[in-house]
Chains A and B, each alone.
Chain A
Amino acid sequence: MTDQLTALTTIFTEFYYWITVVLMFLIHVGFCMYEVGASRYKHHQHTLMKNTMLIPLVTVTWFLFGWWIYWAFPTGPGLAPSIMNESAALITDDSAFSAKWYVPTSDLMAVNLNDRISGVFWAAFLLFSWTAASIVSGAVIERITTFAFGILAIAIGSVFWTIDAAWGWHFDGWMLKILGYHDAYASGVIHAIAGGFALGVLAVLGPRIGKFSSSGEPRNIGPRNPWLVTIGLFLIYTGFWGFYAACNIPIFDLGPEYGMEGVTFWTATNIYVTPTSLGGITFNFLMSLSGGLMAGYLISKGDPFWTYSSGLAGIICASAGNDLYHPIQSFIIAMIGVWVAYKLHYWVERKFKIDDAVGAVAVHGYAGFAGLVICGFVLNGYPSSGYSVGAMWVGTDYAPINPLGMFIGAIIMFGVLGFLPGWILAKILHGMGKLRIPKEVELAGLDYTIMEDAKSDEKAVASSSR
């Protein structure tokens, strides 16, 4: 960087993403608190450890191969040619945005005085990975082994979500070109996929002992510490601000980027490099949060657990198009998302005996899926990219946003990259006898030994006189 303006823009962008990472850390703090609050006393410490340990497990694999997948897979491979090299193969050539630069042995994956953005961008995406894995974590509490969860966390956090991000979030992704897919703040690429993955795992894992009566009636195992759940969800809301910011490019001149001769247009853009504003998405974030909270309060008749979760579900449902919606549209879409999530949660629970301990499949999966479908109608006709817009299915240019493409996109996110891999991996782990803890441990509590040791230590301390 030899001129001050380039330096200012670059270091501002570096610092911007750095701050988003710090903010997004709060999502994980929130998820940990939320899960512990929702679990029973005898499982608290293991529940906390399970969610905490996904941090290093996903981080290491994200360093080793997750980040590489994101840059290598936008073409499918084989589904639509890249706009960078016109090849439909994996992007591993010498082009500027090639996966070649993001193998773990690359000198860009370290302190590098000539590259200030790769590290913070890597970290921002890594925090999305933690979120995807953490969504699954809540659904499976109190009966999954930490080993199995670690494997599943790596699969969703460093493999499947990053494939979907390459397909539907990357500016060169084949889903934009063929389907007109648009998902600015990740209704699908994070939430629907993680919800679908969790559902696949739950279908194999089975319910907690006692969740269903002998006649199949579900019983409520409510949060044991509602205050921890409350603070946890507030922290997730807070971290979500960082998430929204991290999905943007803060300052970019779209004139030369789109090849418009003599045009200069500095703006913030979404992940697809189409223009939006931080002010605009702030309107929409808060209005969709409000719509979600209001709908959740009504539909659950004031139940705090569902009301808080509904605030989140509302934002998630509106997120696909929150870069362009009017705030009142966001508000209404959030309400619809909450209704869908709440109704489907209880229908699936009764019909298929699925025990989703924290409503993760509903809040993230169903609301995310609904958000994608709704986005296809509300943003029908908008360009999915700024680079060029053609017809649907062609794949050499970008299809406009449309209802059918978004519906297919929702199925890919929730079903193909979410539910199916979750179900298959859980089946394999189950076959190895590694998926579920022994019945005796589930009844006694995962923390039984820790608590017994603590009690005997305390007795010894209490009986001491010196």
Chain B
Amino acid sequence: MATVNNWIDHLSAAEVKGAVYPGVGTEGILVLVLVVLWIGWHFISNAQEKSKSDAIARKRPGSNDWKSNVTDG
């Protein structure tokens, strides 16, 4: 994975290569992973939000019922 093994060699090259992160050349795969994680997050968080909302809606608490849930510290 290491792109740089020796800084002296790297910096004294005729043309110093700018990209020094591990796995130079795998950017396409990294972007794909990010897109999958990003889309997956939306699906999962949407399902979680819907399930929480549905649970409250089924219970039908009144608009002032939350006051009995205020913790006194």
Contact = CB atoms under 8 A, between A and B. Distances in A.
Specify whether A and B are partners: yes
Interface of A: 41-42, 60-61, 63-64, 104-108, 110-115, 145-147, 150, 434, 437-438, 440-441, 443-445, 447-449, 451-452, 454-455, 458
Given A441-B57, A448-B61, A449-B56, 17 more contacts: A60-B34, A105-B28, A105-B31, A111-B19, A112-B20, A146-B45, A147-B46, A434-B46, A437-B53, A440-B61, A443-B61, A444-B59, A444-B60, A444-B61, A449-B55, A451-B69, A455-B68
Contacts of A64: 31, 34-35, 38
**Chain B interface main SS type:** helix
Contacts of B57: 438, 440-441
Interface string B6-31: 00000000001111110010011011
Nearest to A107: B19
22 contacts: A110-B21, A110-B27, A111-B21, A112-B18, A112-B20, A115-B18, A147-B42, A147-B45, A147-B46, A150-B45, A437-B53, A444-B63, A444-B66, A445-B66, A448-B59, A448-B61, A448-B66, A448-B69, A449-B52, A451-B69, A454-B71, A455-B71
Contacts of B49: 145-147
Contacts, number: 101
B20 A111 contact: yes
A219 to B, nearest CB: 14
A347 to B, nearest CB: 30
B70 interface: yes
A325 B16 CA distance: 45
Interface residues of B, number: 36
Interface of B: 16-21, 24, 27-28, 30-31, 34-35, 38, 42, 45-46, 49, 52-57, 59-63, 65-66, 68-72
A13 B31 CA distance: 29
A264 B19 CA distance: 34
Contacts of A61: 38
A441 B53 CA distance: 6
Contacts of A42: 66
Nearest to A145: B49
Contacts of B72: 458
Contacts of A63: 34
A41 B20 contact: no
Nearest to A458: B71
Given A146-B45, A147-B42, A444 B56 contact: yes
